[in-house]
Amino acid sequence: MNNNKVTVPIIVFLTICIIFVLILLSIKFIPISDKWSGTSNDKKWSFTIQETDRKDYHIGKLYWKGSKKEEQHINIVSFTSKIDNKVYDVIERESNDEGGNITDKDEMTYMEGIQKEEINGKSIKIIIKWSDNNIEHESHITLKKE
């Protein structure tokens, strides 16, 4: 009987330790998606940075959040992305409108190929200069990790 009293707590303790170690190992190998996002000060734009299929590279996308009426006359004048004051340029812009205006179906890709080390723990700011009906505006977005 004394043997059983000692053996059961040891088995329970070892089982708990094994479960704990397995949980720690699974956390290490579970892929955690990196995503940063933010909305402009004027609530007209949003921007996200997400990892690509390659996991070590990220891609940024700009989205119009203003009204449908406004978007018919919008033209992006310039786009600046800064990661700790290092400037990144536009890589690719696919527009569904040949006139250069944007629509909610447009894909605007920025900062393609940024490596994770370049954005982890850094300040990410986006500045968009855009015009509607020849009036120029400037929107600022500060991204936060989700």
Same domain flag for 42 and 98: yes
Mean pLDDT of all residues in the chain? 75
Report the alpha-carbon distance of residue 83 to residue 101 in Å, rounded.
27
Same domain flag for 90 and 77: yes
CA-closest candidate to residue 129, choices 83, 62, 68, 69: 62
Determine the average pLDDT of the residues in 133-142.
Answer: 89
Report the alpha-carbon distance of residue 18 to residue 12 in Å, rounded.
10
Same domain flag for 71 and 40: yes
**The total number of structural domains that make up the chain:** 2
Per mean pLDDT, which range of 30-44, 47-61, 128-142 is the poorest? 47-61
Q: Is the pTM higher than 0.95?
A: no
Same domain flag for 44 and 20: no
80 vs 99 pLDDT, higher one: 80
Same domain flag for 15 and 85: no
Quick one: DSSP state of residue 101?
B
- Residue 130: CATH number of its domain: 2.60.40
Same domain flag for 115 and 132: yes
CA-closest candidate to residue 51, choices 118, 126, 125, 135: 118
pLDDT for the residue 39: 93
Which parts of the chain are beta strand (E)?
35-39, 45-51, 57-64, 74-83, 86-88, 90-94, 107-115, 124-132, 135-142, 144-145
pLDDT for the residue 28: 60
- Range(s) of the domain holding residue 67: 35-145
**Considering the chain, what percentage of its residues have pLDDT values greater than 70?**
68
Same domain flag for 20 and 7: yes
Q: Are 10 and 2 in contact (CB under 8 A)?
A: no
Report the alpha-carbon distance of residue 125 to residue 121 in Å, rounded.
13
Determine the average pLDDT of the residues in 87-101.
Answer: 56
